[in-house]
């Protein structure tokens, strides 16, 4: 990181950092993101990074195609407003929802996505994994020479939406999920490449270790963080009750 970039990071306001210990219902998470994004856009709440896990499910982004859902009866399917196609969420996968002010950080969505990729690559490096990007394929990839000379698998997916210049949805990083569930979809619409996890790569990192790597790398790449007080999920339920 250049000296000027480090100085800029120190002047940015702290981003709240929240970790949910128990699996979070998907629609509850969406309500939480919606409420927080509105508050951030109105200047009524700080930015937030929310780490969680979901029960097993598929989500369909705005570009998802029906033929890419190979087994529609395998798991619940949720249509979502994020970009991208089909992906899987479930236990053993670290989902990171990002409610960040894109305009403040770059004003350029593509540059923001590139910064997210650099963040995940940096965190993976701390865990001993060499993550890479590929032109035309958003996400983070790892080379798999055991599968063939040019084989590579995706270890982290990115799917975003930006509303009022604030991001929502975010990143999923495979720590130790049941990878067989990916057989029910064409992951992110990309055939011909596989999906992997830290566990499959022989990295026995706990979720806590992964979370620490993500937070440390985020602070290097984006801004300082502060631990959120209270439950973002509970705040979402309160917001939902207020709208009824």
Q: Regarding beta strands 152-163 and 194-195, do their DSSP bridges make them parallel or antiparallel, or are they unpaired?
A: parallel
Active-site residue flag, 221 = no
Number of Cβ atoms within 10 Å of the Cβ of 196: 21
Cβ-Cβ contacts under 8 Å for 173 (sequence gap 6 or more)? 93, 94, 96, 120, 123, 155, 156, 210, 214
The domain spans of the chain are 3-236
- The pLDDT tens digits along the chain (244 residues) read 443 444 455 567 899 999 999 999 999 999 999 999 999 999 999 999 999 999 999 998 888 888 889 999 999 999 988 878 889 999 999 999 999 999 988 789 999 999 999 999 999 999 999 999 988 777 899 999 888 888 899 999 999 999 999 999 999 999 999 999 999 988 765 667 789 999 999 999 999 999 999 999 999 999 999 999 877 755 555 444 544 4
Topology, domain 3-236:
BirA Bifunctional Protein; domain 2 (3.30.930)
Q: Edge-to-edge strands of the sheet including 57-60?
A: 77-79, 57-60, 86-89
Residues 121, 188, 213, 214: which is the catalytic one? Answer: 188
């Amino acid at each position: 990181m250049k000296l000027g970039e480090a100085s800029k990071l120190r002047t940015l306001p702290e981003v709240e950092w929240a970790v949910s210990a128990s699996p979070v219902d998907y629609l509850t998470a969406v309500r939480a993101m919606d409420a927080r994004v509105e508050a951030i856009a109105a200047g009524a709440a700080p930015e937030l990074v929310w780490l969680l896990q979901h029960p097993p499910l598929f989500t369909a982004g705005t570009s998802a195609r029906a033929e890419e859902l190979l087994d529609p009866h395998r798991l619940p399917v949720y249509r979502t407003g994020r970009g991208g196609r089909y992906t899987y969420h479930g236990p053993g996968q670290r989902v990171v929802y990002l409610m960040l002010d894109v305009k403040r950080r770059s004003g350029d969505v593509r540059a923001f996505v590139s910064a997210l990729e650099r963040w995940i690559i940096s965190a993976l490096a701390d865990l001993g994994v060499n993550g890479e990007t590929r032109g035309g394929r958003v996400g983070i990839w790892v080379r798999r020479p055991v599968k063939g000379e040019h084989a590579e698998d995706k270890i982290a997916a990115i799917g975003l939406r930006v509303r009022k210049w604030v991001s929502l949805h975010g990143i999923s990083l495979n720590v130790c999920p049941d990878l067989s569930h990916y057989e029910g979809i064409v992951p992110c619409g990309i055939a011909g490449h596989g999906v992997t996890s830290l566990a499959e790569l022989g990295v026995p990192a706990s979720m806590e270790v992964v979370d620490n790597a993500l937070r440390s790398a985020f602070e290097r790449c984006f801004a300082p963080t502060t631990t959120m007080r209270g439950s973002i999920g509970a705040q979402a339920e309160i917001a939902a009750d207020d709208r009824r």
